[in-house]
Amino acid sequence: MRLIHNSRLPQFRTPFGAVTTGTTVALSVILEDADPNQATLTLRTWVDEVGETLIPMEHEGDGIFTGELKCTETCLVWYSFICNIEGQPEVRLGAPQGRTGGEGVTYDYAEVPSFQITVYKHRENRPTWYERGMVYQIFPDRYARDEHWRERTMAQLEKPRKGIQRRMVEDWNEPPVYERAEDGSIKTWDFYGGSLKGIQEDLPRIAELGFTAIYLNPIFEAASNHRYDTADYTKIDPILGTEQDFTELCQAAEKLGISIILDGVFNHTGDDSIYFNRYGNYPGVGAWQSEDSPWRDAFTFHEDGSYDCWWGVGNMPAINESSELVRERLLGKD
């Protein structure tokens, strides 16, 4: 017996991708090397705070089974398939391990990795500058330097710091690598000195290519070169430049008809941050240091001393989105 479903092909999932509320999604499975008249297929869905729903699938002929999923509310729908044939063990069809889409995999246990569908509410008023624009994505540390990059980068990297160390890479063409410690963790973060001024100086070329928006990977202060481990949401990383540099970048981009999009990273922070402060590099008491920290509720700690983090990466502790402190800080005034 073989079960086939590929969430990225229209013969198995229509319509493809995220859908608006009110949409009915047709999900199909092909059964091979078994008698379809002896098979029962079920579409299994899961929605947080709603739970499990089992939807019978109809045999349309030629081993093709289809079920209809009515998407009535905004949510994330997780789905998989259950196949039962009399006299044979139950088989589940789900997503590949670590993924939420693509070609399905069969499993012999119940809690299989699921495919995902995002259901969203249609907006009457949408930003046409983005919807009809062309976006250029920039990883700031590796995009372009300006004439003062070296002094600015060294001024930050020479400061004494506990935790993962940082160093400057002089040769722009040297391939980036992750130097590992004995336990497999990152030992050193490399910085190439890309800057906001460097991006600004290249704006005319970007505009000439026809781009109408720039998506910047994180520019907030952080310990790493990728800056997804935010250290302070209120500060531009000084290796990239100043807040004035950012203002001038936005002003220069606007004159060329280019919008600027920032990557917010509000799912997790860095462990080396004013909020978590694992290494004590920041003043004040971080969540890691004490249960009495004002930031303790911003993260989720467990009795064994562990804490929730992004995909199990310890230097990116996950933000507790139910925390009133977090909600006020991210969604409140300023």
Q: For residue range 13-46, what is the model confidence (pLDDT) as tens digits? A: 999 999 999 999 999 999 999 999 999 999 999 9
Q: What is the residue range of 97's domain?
A: 2-120
Q: Determine the Cα–Cα distance for residues 224 and 167; give it in Å rounded to an integer.
A: 10
Residues 116 and 135 in one domain: no
What strands, in cross-sheet order, belong to the sheet with 186-191?
A: 165-168, 186-191, 179-180
CB 270 within 8 A of CB 223: yes
Is residue 201 assigned to a domain? yes
**pLDDT > 80? residue 254:** yes
- Closest by CA position to 293, among listed 261, 260, 317: 317
The domain tally of the chain equals: 2
Q: Is the pTM of this model over 0.85?
A: no
**pLDDT > 80? residue 174:** yes
Residue finishing a domain among 232, 262, 292: 262
Is residue 20 assigned to a domain? yes
Is residue 316 assigned to a domain? no
- Closest by CA position to 196, among listed 252, 155, 234, 156: 252
Residue finishing a domain among 198, 232, 262: 262
Residues 60 and 105 in one domain: yes
Helix, strand or coil for residue 305?
A: coil
pLDDT confidence tier of residue 94, bands split at 50, 70 and 90? very high
Residues 14 and 55 in one domain: yes
Residue finishing a domain among 262, 290, 305: 262
Is residue 270 assigned to a domain? no
Centre a 10 Å sphere on the Cβ of residue 140 and count the other Cβ atoms it contains: 23
